[in-house]
Structure 1
Amino acid sequence: MDENNDFRRGLSLALRLGTEMMVSTFVGGSMGYAIDWYFQTRPWFMVFGILLGGAAGIMTVYRIAMMNQNDAAEQDAAQKNKSDSINDDQQEK
């Protein structure tokens, strides 16, 4: 059952990261398009918005990935400490 949960967590994280990247790029491009429409400067602000949105998406994805990595490391350390204490208890008996 743990293997199934790990798969679901991984799939959930992958979908979240992809969605974050896509939405950031779309929002940046949309804002650039709106500015271009207002000032009649097509396509310059849209290109700038896509690049800026993509950069924001990359930063967000990096931040989420680092938080996930830190959480996994903490869980591994906690599990190792738990198994070490169980082994110590068994050796004392």
Structure 2
Amino acid sequence: MSMNGKPFRGIAITTTILSYLSGSTIVGIFSGRWLDNYFGTSPWFLLLGLLVGLAAGVYGMIYLVNQLMGDNHRE
């Protein structure tokens, strides 16, 4: 890869990581709010959705970084 392509790769990686973290968190929040409205259990599903969304985002980020670093073997 040439030197000119590295800044764009860095931008792409950063954008992907931010998408994992923000996207899964937003989906978790909206899903939790919908479940709270459906069952009338405010704010429990919202909090659960937030935590699940954050956990999914962090897991996706770690998986992506491991794939990019070439550390995809399991011990």
Alignment TM-score, normalising by the size of structure 2: 0.88
Q: Tell me which amino acid in the other structure corresponds to 2:42.
A: R
SS of equivalent to 1:42: coil
SS of equivalent to 2:70: helix
Unaligned runs of 5+ in 2: none
Q: Name 2:70's counterpart in structure 1.
A: 70
Alignment TM-score, normalising by the size of structure 1: 0.72
Encode CA deviations 1:43-66: one digit per residue, 9 max, x unaligned: 111011001110010000000000
- Quick one: distance in 2 between partners of 1:52 and 1:19? 16
Q: Tell me which amino acid in the other structure corresponds to 1:63.
A: Y
- Quick one: distance in 2 between partners of 1:21 and 1:54? 7
Encode CA deviations 1:34-87: one digit per residue, 9 max, x unaligned: 11000111111101100111001000000000000008xxxxxxxxxxxxxxxx
Q: Name 1:77's counterpart in structure 2.
A: none
- Structure of higher CA gyration radius: 1
Which contiguous aligned blocks of 4+ residues in structure 1 show a shift greater than 3 angstroms? none
Q: Name 2:38's counterpart in structure 1.
A: 38
More helix by share: 1
Q: Name 1:88's counterpart in structure 2.
A: none
Unaligned runs of 5+ in 1: 72-93
Percent identity (aligned): 32
Q: Name 2:7's counterpart in structure 1.
A: 7
Q: Name 1:17's counterpart in structure 2.
A: 17
C-alpha RMSD over aligned residues? 1.5
